Amino acid sequence: MKLFDFSSPALRALMSGAVALAVSSGAFAHAHLISSVPAANADAVAPTEVTIHFTEPLEPAFSTITLADASGKSAVATASTVDSQDARTMHLALPPLDAGRYAVHWVAVATDGHRTQGDFAFNVK
């Protein structure tokens, strides 16, 4: 006995609609950068941390911010954290930094498991 007639145009339309919805809601759940402190290419005076705000809550186990100095060497010995009050915000505490240009690299894993990443730089005066 056949429960569904998959050749039915109505059923096929319904199924393709469900697939389209699943794909678009998955794309929406990717975590994208909204803003950061310091901002990209900003001149920062004695920054104490890098803070990045994202569009979606993050998985703390897989989301990271790292900082490299102009020679590409890691500038921070400690790990970044996802804010315990707001999972859409990530912090990297900074030691006192010498003047120069620094590169931020971030990896954001949304709660749906999708991973986004990006880079920006700022200057320490």
Q: Which residues bind Cu ion (CB under 5 A)?
A: 26, 29-30, 112, 114
- The full 3-state SS of the chain, as one line of letters, equals CCCCCCCCHHHHHHHHHHHHHHHHHHHHCCCCEEEEECCCCCEECCCCEEEEEECCCECCCCCEEEEECCCCCECCCCCCEECCCCCCEEEEECCCCCCEEEEEEEEEEECCCCEEEEEEEEEEC
Cβ proximity to Cu ion: between 30 and 53 the closer is 30
CB of 110 to Cu ion, least distance (A): 5
Closest distance of CB 27 from Cu ion, Å: 6
CB of 24 to Cu ion, least distance (A): 10
For residues 29 and 103, which CB has a smaller minimum distance to Cu ion in the complex? 29
Cβ closer to Cu ion: 28 or 86? 28
Kindly tell me which of 34 and 39 has the beta carbon lying closer to Cu ion: 34
CB of 22 to Cu ion, least distance (A): 11
